[in-house]
Structure 1
Amino acid sequence: MSSSSLVGRRSFLQTASAAAAAGLFVGTGRSSRGQDSPNERPVFATIGLRNQGWAITSKSTGLADFAAFADVDANVLGANLEQLEQRTKKKADGYKDYREVLDRKDVDAVMIATPDHWHTKISVEAMLAGKDVYCEKPLTLTIDEGKLIEKVVEQTGRTFQVGTMQRTESDQRFLKAIALIRDGRIGEIRKVTCGIGGAGASPEIPAVDPPKGLDWDMWLGPAPKAPYRALPEMRQGYGGGVPLYTNCHYAWRNWFETSGGQLNDWGAHHVDIATWALGASDTGPSKITPVSYSMPVDYKDGYPTVADRFNVPTSFEIRAEMPGGVPLIITSSGDNGILFEGTKGRFFVNRGKLTGKPVEELESNPLPEGAVEAVYGGPVSGNHTANFIDAMKSREQPISDVWSHNRMLETCHLANIAMRLGRELNWDPTKREIVGDAEANAFLSQESRKGYEIDM
């Protein structure tokens, strides 16, 4: 969002927070200790612990105390409780049901790193329980979920941080990229390309018994009822130690029922930076065109015709028409990162490099003093959790706020809808709906499975 709208929204949220403390909003009766004692070391709990759950926890133990963990996999829960004790010399309580965490009065904030289909339910219920929230990206499974989260943030006045860490990474590479653009180093932007990589297809994956210790029904939660599926081959590297082909651990990213493939995974990082650089964080695209794409299974009316293999796009080129007619290309081809092209030059940025003639010219013509800080909105902490805790203390919103995140993620969600239906979509960024296409608009939401609706 623009700096002016962010300041306005922050002021509103400060007012909302004060009103909530006075009992003027629904769902704030169970306020946490953090709102009453913002200067104390906060007490956190993590919900969803495999891989990224432990990653964000381990990065935060120097700044917060962890009182509780929750995970539906007993093996993951136990292993992480042991790791926490080894790291901090303190014990935390473990739960299968996250609601027991939300009932605790001593927990100020929750860190959510579950699969995507659980994010909205836990986030909303945590805010209504008086907790501040840190939730991993992508924040939502659907566009309407984003609207709901925004509503509850405003209703409760809670601080909410999304895990798009490229906004706060310690070497400031992405912040410098935006500062270059704002300082006119490439002139007017003519094109932005986000390379986010493709996804692999899978063979037929049979239904088998879930692993011992995993509550499969609760893992599915709001997602449609389905059998647990897995093949014996194991994943290697990051996220390893689980089946390579499954509809559960790690590979849930390859199923629309629980995620959105590369568009919602890497897209949530690079499209975020691109949208921020374009000054489009409080609006969005007007048109989404699936230039080319490949689906791993056949689709009918936007739904896969088989249920036993990965179903998200494997390769793609998407064109999003951004404000001012600037094309934003999202592609599975090329180097992972963002290429900015303007009337006076171009440069490329990713997590390993910032390259191009405008970057080389910084040696003789550096950015103005404070240019990076101006992008960030103040001194750069370089630590995502520190930014979250600072926002908790000030009762403001952090650098990765829900509004800017949802706006950019709408582009990713729309790209997936366009590929599922095989057609161009016209988007109204003011009404936040697809123009003249009732079938496509039906994909803006997904009904929760009975028994796992959001507890409002």
Structure 2
Amino acid sequence: MPVPRPLDRRHFLQAATGLGGVAMLSSWGGPAGAAQSPNERPVFATIGLRNQGWTITNKSTKFADFAAFADVDANVLGATNAKLEKKTGKKADGYEDYRKVLDRDDIDAVMIAAPDHWHTKISVEAMLAGKDVYCEKPLTLTIDEGKLIEKIVKQTGRVFQVGTMQRTENNQRFLKAIALIRDGRIGVIRKVTCGINGATGSPVIPAVDVPEGLNWDSWLGPAPKVDYRALPEMRKGYGGGVPRYTNCHYAWRNWYEYSGGQMNDWGAHHVDIATWALGAADTGPNKITPVSYSLPVDYENGYSTVENQYNTPTKFEIHANMPGDIPMVITSEGDNGILFDGTKGRFFVNRGKLAGKPVEDLESNPLPEGAVEDVYGGPVSENHTANFIAAMGTRDQPISDVWSHNRMLETCHLANIAIRLGRELKWDPTQREIVDDEQANSFLSRESRKGYEINM
């Protein structure tokens, strides 16, 4: 195991407030051969820099120093390093190949914001290289990838934080929602509805020349070799500066080859909170029923029949039968957020509000002191990175651990499989396999492209 490197007491307490109490004074696991400076902050690197990659880096400079960046797009790499220099006065070493980051002895932890199809390979190799890992959600492209990550976390003892920041941030709205449920404010839960937005399909997207500076083969990585595709119209707002219709930057979320559409993207947030609230974080559903759905292209045997258009669902209503036969509805209709229905009332929560009579009643009947902290497992961290660094100190797993995340994400993965095959699935949450359906079980894993297998 890597040799622990002590973190300066003052910096550690400032960075890690919110988890572990007195236990925060214990040393944290830095890499073997790392410097022993008592005033040094943890040294991070970010792999995959566009959009969320910079977002998590930017929020983390308060707690850690960034020594290295890696991205297969030289334009993104350069732009992100310029942002870092403007904010901190220092640039990070930049690499196209993430493995050069993992080879460095001075890197304590990596933050991964590459597209979903890269998450497992980079995460596993980072842990085997002695790094703690913060990886964006959704963590995996398949259910079996989640099992592998769990195995390597256990094998290496590394700390692993998944980027489901709703567990820590958003003014504690989601923590308060769970506290309301645990305090019996809506009685027994009868139904949970997760609104996660629909999506749109795309026109036919032609194959075009790869943009200068982008290593397309490396971007594809474990995914099948295909042409780069894009239309001239540019995307605006968040994720802007790239083609609106493409199979690369930002829009990769609309392709099953690289992601799971809205089901995995927003589902990884709201299904996570709903599963946590139901007390099902160590199990999951026993049945997934695709009540209705719309796919933007034709499918055959669970696969798109075309390769030049988005292929993830645009609309859907999925029913997951959760423990205690509580229905969880995952829908593209209605408001984005979670509606909890109980025998004594109902309330709604999302990133902007926590609303309903049980919430209004808090004015005259507040939650017991410490109720939110009890949900979180201690004082709530300043942000998700602070919680991660605190866990690096205690060597405990952080608030968004891989086990609860994978159990939740299995619901989303199964929903996508049910949609792709057009049928109900029975799930064995103990064996973690689909019951009596060989074809459906074939979707629990995927084969990596030759040359991009996970290096074990």
TM-score, length basis structure 2 = 0.93
Q: What is the RMSD of the two structures over their aligned residues, measured on CA atoms?
A: 1.9
> Amino acid of the residue matched to residue 323 of structure 1?
P
1:91 CA drift (Å): 2.1
Quote the residue 2:403 is aligned against. Answer: 403
Quote the residue 1:3 is aligned against. Answer: none
Instruction: Tell me, in whole angstroms, the C-alpha distance in 2 between the residues paired with 1:283 and 1:445.
Output: 20
Displacement over 4 Å in runs of 4+: 36-40
Q: Is the 8 A contact 1:44 1:107 kept in 2?
A: yes
Instruction: Tell me, in whole angstroms, the C-alpha distance in 1 between the residues paired with 2:39 and 2:438.
Output: 49
Specify every segment of 5 or more residues in structure 1 that has no aligned partner in the other structure, as ranges.
1-13, 22-27
Q: Is the 8 A contact 1:32 1:131 kept in 2?
A: no
Instruction: Tell me, in whole angstroms, the C-alpha distance in 2 between the residues paired with 1:444 and 1:255.
Output: 17
Quote the residue 1:131 is aligned against. Answer: 131
1:267 CA drift (Å): 0.3
Q: Is the 8 A contact 2:74 2:214 kept in 1?
A: yes
Instruction: Tell me, in whole angstroms, the C-alpha distance in 1 between the residues paired with 2:322 and 2:33.
Output: 41
Quote the residue 1:8 is aligned against. Answer: none
Instruction: Tell me, in whole angstroms, the C-alpha distance in 2 between the residues paired with 1:254 and 1:444.
Output: 19
Q: Is the 8 A contact 1:109 1:134 kept in 2?
A: yes
Percent identity among equivalent residues? 80
Q: Is the 8 A contact 1:170 1:381 kept in 2?
A: no
Quote the residue 1:191 is aligned against. Answer: 191
Instruction: Tell me, in whole angstroms, the C-alpha distance in 2 between the residues paired with 1:425 and 1:121.
Output: 28
Instruction: Tell me, in whole angstroms, the C-alpha distance in 2 between the residues paired with 1:85 and 1:105.
Output: 23
1:31 CA drift (Å): 3.5
Q: Is the 8 A contact 1:315 1:332 kept in 2?
A: yes
Q: Is the 8 A contact 1:206 1:308 kept in 2?
A: yes
Q: Is the 8 A contact 1:69 1:92 kept in 2?
A: yes
1:32 CA drift (Å): 6.6
Q: SS of the residue aligned with 1:171?
A: helix
Q: Provide Cα deviations, 1:226-282, integer angstroms capped at 9, x if missing partner.
A: 100000011111000100100000000000000000011000000000000000000
Are residues 116 and 107 of structure 1, via their aligned partners in 2, closer, same or farther at CA, if it must alter by over 3 Å? Answer: same
Q: Provide Cα deviations, 1:29-65, integer angstroms capped at 9, x if missing partner.
A: x74739x889841000000000000000000001000
Quote the residue 2:4 is aligned against. Answer: none
Q: SS of the residue aligned with 2:347?
A: strand
Are residues 32 and 355 of structure 1, via their aligned partners in 2, closer, same or farther at CA, if it must alter by over 3 Å? Answer: farther
Quote the residue 1:159 is aligned against. Answer: 159
What is the total number of aligned residue pairs between the two structures?
433
Quote the residue 1:318 is aligned against. Answer: 318
Specify every segment of 5 or more residues in structure 2 that has no aligned partner in the other structure, as ranges.
1-22
Matches within 5 A, 1:221-236: 221-236=221-236
Instruction: Tell me, in whole angstroms, the C-alpha distance in 2 between the residues paired with 1:82 and 1:142.
Output: 35
Quote the residue 1:352 is aligned against. Answer: 352
> Amino acid of the residue matched to residue 264 of structure 2?
N
Q: SS of the residue aligned with 1:203?
A: coil
Instruction: Tell me, in whole angstroms, the C-alpha distance in 2 between the residues paired with 1:277 and 1:220.
Output: 36
1:90 CA drift (Å): 1.3
Q: SS of the residue aligned with 1:134?
A: strand
Matches within 5 A, 1:93-242: 93-242=93-242
Quote the residue 1:9 is aligned against. Answer: none
Q: Is the 8 A contact 2:170 2:351 kept in 1?
A: no
1:103 CA drift (Å): 0.3
Matched, 1:392 2:388: no
> Amino acid of the residue matched to residue 153 of structure 1?
V
Q: Provide Cα deviations, 1:263-316, integer angstroms capped at 9, x if missing partner.
A: 110000000000000000000000000000000000000000011000000000
Q: Is the 8 A contact 1:31 1:131 kept in 2?
A: no
TM-score, length basis structure 1 = 0.93
